[in-house]
Structure 1
Amino acid sequence: MSSAAHHTADPDRLWSVDEHLEDVLTTVRPLEPIELQLLDAQGCVLVEDVMVPLSLPPFDNSSMDGYAVRVADVAGASEEFPASLEVVGDVAAGAGAPVRVGPGQAARIMTGAPLPPGAETVVPVEWTDGGLGAGPVRGMRARSLAPEGATGQVRVHRPAEARAHVRASGSDVQAGDLALKAGTVLGPPQLGLLAAIGRGTVRVRPRPRVVVLSTGSELVQPGEQLAGGQIHDSNSFALTAAARDAGAIGYRVGAVADDADTLRSTIEDQLVRADLLVTTGGVSVGAYDVVKEALSHVGDEDEPGGGVEFRKLAMQPGKPQGFGTVGPDHIPLLALPGNPVSSYVSFELFVRPAIRTLMGLPDVHRPTTRAKLVCDKALTSPRGRRQFLRGTYRDGEVRPVGGSGSHLVAALAQADSLIVVPEDAESVESGTEVEVVLLG
């Protein structure tokens, strides 16, 4: 449970960004591991080391369409004096017991097929006459190869070194090697490796289910006509997308009107599919801040230690924040401000690390760097607040985008970083080195 006593907090306390983040991350725990089919495990974090049960490739095989031969039989072969070999059979990919290659013999071989006994190397079909003396070509997989199953003669025009065009058994990984270590995020290449070594399922922490809902009677679904005083709901789309970008399964709930009972019942309905709840709007001191009204008691009456605490943080944007747990399973809930920039910055600072913690990742934060500030005039910042300004970062320099207004959605869409102005700075001149949070 959280280090804060959510329902007995001092409403006048000003929390630092770091204190609030620490409270969130000490409350949120990684999800319990489960066994999943490979494709269902995409994006999940592996919870155990996976060892290689059999070498890859499991047998010596050809990397070319051609002929499997003995080195001595093609030594000195040339266009003028080709080596003429007896074709004793075919070796196809997936073949069981292949033919044996003896002195003066060759076996026609396909890419991926096992190197037959007696053969020491593979000559590509381009180095041969394609065994045309074996009969007419019809519908062949490789250019100029003789018909399947045919025997006869093949003329080889170039010599080949031992094991040329042969993929050695175990040249990729060997039995007993570590394939993937615990903590690996499973992307397409990792899932391909698991399949290649024969793993049909894998033990992972599941992707967290994050439910996002925005509040406000003024909010209208995009695509619908606006009436007077209404705006389109953008926060729930941005934050659901941000949750998915962080690795979660994001669920967006339509905007909830400013009614505490409706909001409370909506949240209770969503608990069944949530590992984390995110609300946006209704957390400041206005008369219609229903999130505070609805959540201050959810889980508090029947579940000791539950409930959501609303706080003031020493940051800009995003001063009003809420955090706690709701429902019988103590599902973490982060209540973010309603202004688009405030909600997005708050998501990056607090929700994204919570999602990454649920996933069991060791590094939950966005990368940061130092960069030279490039701007026309000095940036101003309120003393005692840590300010996060939108910026564009490139080649060690960062430039502010848009103003400091927390409603400026267009500027946010151009930004790829956050410029951090510390609490003790009231202005930052161009040319100053600043901390930058990289968003992309």
Structure 2
Amino acid sequence: MTTPPPPSRKRVEEHASDVAAILGPVTSTGTESVPIDDAAGRVTAVAVTSPVELPLFRNSQMDGFAVRSADLEDGETRLRVVGEIAARPIEPAELQAGTSVRIMTGAVVPPGADIVVPVEESTVETSPDGTETVVLGAPRSGGERRPGLFVRERGSDVHAGDELLPAGIRLASRHLAVLAAAGITTVEVRRRARIAIVTTGAELVEPGETPTLGQTFDSNGTALAAAVVAAGAEVVRRARVVDDRDALLALLDELHGDADLILTSGGISMGDHEVVRDVLGPLDGWIGSVAMQPGGPQALGAYRGVPIIAFPGNPVSTQLSFEVFVAPVLRRAAGLLQAARGPAELAVAVQSVPGKRQFLRGRRLDDGRVEPVAGPGSHLVAGLAASDVLLVIPEDVLALEAGDAVEAWTL
């Protein structure tokens, strides 16, 4: 049975398109150069090439003895030990025929030597005058001792000019390791969108304060800030304002120049004291309803050229609105993977409402099926915390049975 939303109510796809349009300039914010120590989680804006050869010099892969392969016999080989090379700055002399040098992992392999024999495949004999002779037996691992064995040649990993990282890589420790190994100190990354978060309502108090009757803790500021960071953007300011138009305008003036985008929660419903509606309305903003539950009230606008995306104030509505409309755009711009979305089997029957897309909070069971964990109420924050998926019920579906497929969005 199909039940289309009323004409005054936007479809979810329509509002998502409008949000993406207003976010266009926000997500095209250019690039910046950052120190690699501050680059974890950032996304490369351009390909990074190596300025050097890696390894920087011929070095030993093992603790052992550097020798000339031409000196090795088919059976046991005896060579005089003429010195030691540790992993430190040094320019060793050329290794002469019939001699060997004790060498440590990472140390410079001397000219003339073309193989390193591991220390566990050797025995050292010391004569009365202190002369050392290394006795090299057969390789314990089998095979043959060929030239180049356990010698890391200069440039064998990377040549100067080779690409170390492509553009669009989210930098993790393994990426920063190769940059540091090549001596690179800064990297060009996509600049993060700078987002300010404004929660509204005279009833709000900060967590940790003591609420009086009629007051409630502000969870939206904390949740939105975490969601913004997870989506690859930067929170430049968190603020709260009472239901006063002049106070909100003064705050927006403060945020101008610092933020690329302002997210608000609350103040857009149809009652009195709807402060965001009172500000955006005269500025030709859009304030209305989207055919979804929770999160029906939505608004868009701009103040002095800074885009504003306004969410309803109920905590679940705020968080789901961000997840549905804003997170995919920010993640795409930041080069992050999108949250997984796909069909799953329902473990229980569910009911929905006509004309609205339902976003039920749910969890994935051990067998891969999914089930709701809370009712549809937009205030049920504990149910949202217990969920790991959203179960998306289309507008024209009123009920699904156990065993039916449902679209599941990973949270």
Fold shared per TM-score above 0.5 = yes
Question: CA separation in 2, counterparts of 1:415 and 1:134?
Answer: 76
Question: CA separation in 1, counterparts of 2:126 and 2:410?
Answer: 62
**Alpha-carbon offset, residue 286 of structure 1:** 1.6
Residue 57 of structure 2: which of 59, 68, 71 is its match? 59
**Alpha-carbon offset, residue 280 of structure 1:** 0.8
Residue 154 of structure 1: which of 127, 130, 134 is its match? 134
Q: Report the AA paired with residue 127 of structure 1.
A: E
Counterpart in the other structure of 1:415: 387
Contact 1:99 1:107 in 2 (8 A): no
Residue 377 of structure 2: which of 405, 409, 414 is its match? 405
Counterpart in the other structure of 2:43: 45
Counterpart in the other structure of 1:347: 322
Does residue 352 of structure 2 align to residue 381 of structure 1? yes
Deviations 1:30-51 (A, max 9, x none): 2112222223333222222223
**Alpha-carbon offset, residue 287 of structure 1:** 0.9
Structure 2 CA distance for partners of 1:132 and 1:240, relative to 1, 3 Å: farther
- Pairs within 5 Å for 1:275-424: 275-297=260-282, 300=283, 308-327=285-304, 330-359=305-334, 361=335, 365-375=338-348, 378-394=349-365, 395-424=367-396
Give SS of 2:285's match. Answer: strand
Give SS of 2:178's match. Answer: helix
Deviations 1:58-112 (A, max 9, x none): 333212222211234444556xxxx432222333334342222222211222211
Deviations 1:341-360 (A, max 9, x none): 1111001111212423553x
Contact 2:124 2:132 in 1 (8 A): no
**Alpha-carbon offset, residue 129 of structure 1:** 4.0
Counterpart in the other structure of 1:235: 220
**Alpha-carbon offset, residue 130 of structure 1:** 5.8
Does residue 97 of structure 2 align to residue 122 of structure 1? no
Question: CA separation in 1, counterparts of 2:124 and 2:317?
Answer: 70
Structure 2 CA distance for partners of 1:102 and 1:405, relative to 1, 3 Å: same
Contact 2:280 2:302 in 1 (8 A): no
**Alpha-carbon offset, residue 405 of structure 1:** 0.8
Identity %: 43
**Alpha-carbon offset, residue 165 of structure 1:** 2.3
Q: Work out the number of aligned pairs and report it.
A: 397
Q: Choose 400-409 or 41-50, whichever is displaced more.
A: 41-50
Deviations 1:204-254 (A, max 9, x none): 211222221211111111111121111111111111111111122224524
Q: Choose 240-249 or 152-161, whichever is displaced more.
A: 152-161
Q: Report the AA paired with residue 184 of structure 2.
A: R
Structure 2 CA distance for partners of 1:319 and 1:130, relative to 1, 3 Å: farther
Residue 103 of structure 1: which of 89, 97, 100 is its match? 97
Deviations 1:386-427 (A, max 9, x none): 111111125542111111111111111111111110111011
Question: CA separation in 1, counterparts of 2:202 and 2:208?
Answer: 17
Question: CA separation in 2, counterparts of 1:133 and 1:220?
Answer: 83
- Pairs within 5 Å for 1:97-246: 97-129=91-123, 152-159=132-139, 161-162=145-146, 163-246=148-231
**Alpha-carbon offset, residue 12 of structure 1:** 7.0
Give SS of 1:119's match. Answer: coil
**Alpha-carbon offset, residue 365 of structure 1:** 4.1
Contact 2:342 2:407 in 1 (8 A): yes
Q: Report the AA paired with residue 303 of structure 2.
A: V
Contact 1:221 1:254 in 2 (8 A): no
**TM-score, L = length of structure 1:** 0.83
Does residue 80 of structure 2 align to residue 86 of structure 1? yes
Q: Choose 248-257 or 211-220, whichever is displaced more.
A: 248-257
Does residue 250 of structure 2 align to residue 265 of structure 1? yes
Q: Report the AA paired with residue 374 of structure 1.
A: A
**Alpha-carbon offset, residue 371 of structure 1:** 0.6
**Alpha-carbon offset, residue 292 of structure 1:** 0.9
Does residue 391 of structure 2 align to residue 430 of structure 1? no
Question: CA separation in 2, counterparts of 1:99 and 1:216?
Answer: 77
Structure 2 CA distance for partners of 1:403 and 1:93, relative to 1, 3 Å: same
Give SS of 2:323's match. Answer: helix
| Structure 1 runs not aligned, ≥5 long | 1-10, 137-150, 301-306
Structure 2 CA distance for partners of 1:422 and 1:133, relative to 1, 3 Å: farther
Residue 13 of structure 1: which of 8, 19, 24 is its match? 8
Question: CA separation in 1, counterparts of 2:337 and 2:321?
Answer: 15
Give SS of 2:29's match. Answer: coil
Question: CA separation in 1, counterparts of 2:264 and 2:126?
Answer: 73
Give SS of 1:272's match. Answer: coil
**Alpha-carbon offset, residue 131 of structure 1:** 7.1
**TM-score, L = length of structure 2:** 0.88
| Structure 2 runs not aligned, ≥5 long | 1-5
Contact 1:91 1:99 in 2 (8 A): no
Deviations 1:164-183 (A, max 9, x none): 32234334333343222222
**Alpha-carbon offset, residue 294 of structure 1:** 2.6
